Structure 1
Amino acid sequence: MSDTDDPEVTAELPDAPFHTTGTDHVTIWGSNEADTLAFYRDLLGMPLVLRQPNLDDPSQTHLFFDTGDGRILTVFVGDRASNQGGQRTQTGGVHHLCFSLDPERYEDVMDALDEAGKRYNVFDRGIFHSLYTTDNNGLVIELSADKYDIPDDRRGEVLATAQRLRVEDGADYAKDEHLAAAIEELGLDVEQYDLPEAESGVGGVE
């Protein structure tokens, strides 16, 4: 299928019966409480803001973590061993979760993962930097850092503009030059972050 046959990419709201107002929370099926706290609270630094029974299955505990902006990750935990291997994701499954990082702390994050003995890969994804590791359940966790200090309410507009520019350029994916050109076209005065060198393009967790 050519780009001309693809659905329209735009920051405009679609003609739909209603529109969501944001992400409230994502819930994953986890292993046990101790390992979950060790990864999400003690390594990634997410506060545990609520702990109660799973209301659909009181034999399980429901942990609520603040991911950093008031949006919540919740985990059902029980008496299950953690998964040190990867996961085989099928249709309907979750491929990975992505959390934002402070770009100025990017190298500190890598140092912390090294200290914790966590394997990870770092890639320049064109429109942002991504670090990939796995949690205690074998779920792929992406930690991304923005290249530019783009206001949240303009992010969709910038990405949609970068999409148009990359199609016009015939590029396979949106690259840094498309993002920079989109920011310039939209007249945004934003800060560019100093991020470490990283392999470009495709790739993922080892």
Structure 2
Amino acid sequence: MDKVQVQGIHHVTLNGADRQTSIDFWQGVLGMTLFFEQPNLDEPELGHLYFDSGDGTTITVFTDEGRKPSERKLHQQVGSVHHLALSVSQATYRMAEERLKAHGFAVTLRDRGFMDSLYFREPLGLLIELASYKFEPPQGCTHAQVLAIAHAKRVAAGDDAIATQHVADALVELSASHVKSLSPS
């Protein structure tokens, strides 16, 4: 059977509350520029806001002036979204806890070994993760390539999770495969 090969995430669309709640959070708190707005073409009574996530992908939000925010935790039903992870730099990650608390958000920090994670709930109850890799891949390589090699090293070592040494060894392996040394060692 032939595959339908995807090339990345085009956009994620969320069901929002009123327009201003969405703008205040996505642009006001997370710094995503609102760059496009129109009615929802399938349900014209709803608004459709487009926010730039910073890497060329888009978060869009359907808005309804009759809906108001509720900070309750969303139900985790089969097929539902558990959380939305957004990429941030290490500098932003280090400031995020303080800045989110200043906006009234409760946060949870997690060290994942190869990345740092900060979790909080946005005004409608969706769990948001701010994720920051602790490494940069070699030029021309991706984080996924590094992590695939680190995963293989983790499995070979019998470890439960990817750790710093797996990532460091994966970086050495990838770097060596991209530039051949004239020296035997």
| TM-score normalised per structure 1 | 0.79
Offset, 1:177: 2.0
For the pair 1:183 / 2:171, whether they are aligned, the reply is yes
State how 1:106-121 maps to structure 2 within 5 Å.
106-121=93-108
Distance 1:152 1:49 in 2: 30
Offset, 1:152: 7.1
Question: 2:118, 2:131 within 8 Å by CA — same for their partners in 1?
Answer: yes
CA change 1:54–1:117 in 2 (3 A) is same
Instruction: Name stretches of at least 5 consecutive residues in structure 1 with no aligned partner.
Output: 1-14, 189-206
- Residue 88 of structure 1: aligned partner: 75
- Residue 110 of structure 2: aligned partner: 123
Question: 2:136, 2:143 within 8 Å by CA — same for their partners in 1?
Answer: no
Instruction: Please provide the CA RMSD for this pair.
Output: 1.6
Bigger radius of gyration: 2
- Residue 182 of structure 2: aligned partner: none
| Secondary structure in structure 1 of the residue aligned to 2:45 | strand
Distance 1:102 1:123 in 2: 15
Higher RCO (Cα < 8 Å, 6 or more apart): 1
Number of residue equivalences: 174
**Could you list the runs of 4 or more consecutive aligned residues of structure 1 that deviate by over 3 angstroms after TM superposition?**
none
Distance 1:38 1:133 in 2: 16
Provide Cα deviations, 1:34-78, integer angstroms capped at 9, x if missing partner. 111111100000000111101110111001100011200011110
For the pair 1:140 / 2:127, whether they are aligned, the reply is yes
One-letter amino acid of the counterpart of residue 164, structure 2: D
Instruction: Name stretches of at least 5 consecutive residues in structure 2 with no aligned partner.
Output: 177-185
Offset, 1:153: 3.9
- Provide the identity percentage: 36
- Residue 151 of structure 2: aligned partner: 163
Question: 2:86, 2:130 within 8 Å by CA — same for their partners in 1?
Answer: yes
